Structure 1
Amino acid sequence: MSATFQAQIANGGRWHAYVVLLSVPVSLWPEYDWCRDTPVPTVTERAQVLAALGYEVTPGAEWVWTEDSDVHGDPSSPVRLIATITVQTMPEVTA
């Protein structure tokens, strides 16, 4: 069985995807930037980006959405939407 990781997409002014790798610095995490704030990337777009980064959604996993804010406890602070899903490395294709 392949190791699993958490992938996230977040909107902090534009949509950004990344795979959380706890054993490496954040600056080395695989990532992708859609360079847009709307619309929300579709499930197909997310899967394509994860594949380009070398990952695939684990069987049965679903995106889980949460919200955060720039300033904790301030209801007037802009909302940040974050979606998380469990992924695994894609199997290598051998010829």
Structure 2
Amino acid sequence: MRGQESAREFTAQMSVREGRWRLYVALMNTTERWPEHRFGRTVPTFTDRTNALSVLGFEPVPGAEWTWTEDSETHGDPASPVVLIAAIRVRSWSGVSA
């Protein structure tokens, strides 16, 4: 059961490294290990991402949308390969076993 009172909000991010996508929840200001899920070599669909968040014990905050940011692998080098980072606000829910 998802408890509204115990929900805490965080930012989930997804990035690709060496051709594989990784989704993780940034647990800032905690000593907890950041939960993560690794995907294969195809870009995860919206449903894939939502399901992975659920397995990790999180769900998108109502009304939140994925945002995409382009970065470079080597800061300040315009010839550096592009790194895509997606982010969404999520909330934890009770009843999750880590």
> Shorter chain as normaliser: what TM range?
0.7 to 0.9
Within-5 A mapping of 1:5-84: 5-13=10-18, 14-22=20-28, 23-24=30-31, 28-36=33-41, 39-84=42-87
What fraction of aligned residue pairs are identical, expressed as a percent? 49
Structure 2: where are the runs of 5+ without partners? Answer: none
- Secondary structure class of the residue paired with 1:46: helix
The runs of 5 or more residues in structure 1 that have no matched partner are none
What RMSD in Å do the two structures reach over aligned CA positions?
Answer: 1.6
The amino acid that maps onto 1:24 is T
Deviating 4+ runs (over 3 angstroms): none
Distance 2:48 2:93 in 1: 17
* C-alpha deviation, 1:32, in angstroms: 0.8
Contact conserved, 1:51 with 1:90, CA < 8 A, in 2? no
TM-score, structure 1 as length reference: 0.85
Q: Is the 8 A contact 1:7 1:87 kept in 2?
A: yes
Aligned length: 89
Q: What are the Cα deviations for residues 18-62 of structure 1, in whole angstroms up to 9, with x where unaligned?
A: 00011126xx110011132xx311110000000000000010000
Secondary structure (helix, strand or coil) at the match of 1:86 reads strand
- SS of the residue 2:48 aligns to: helix
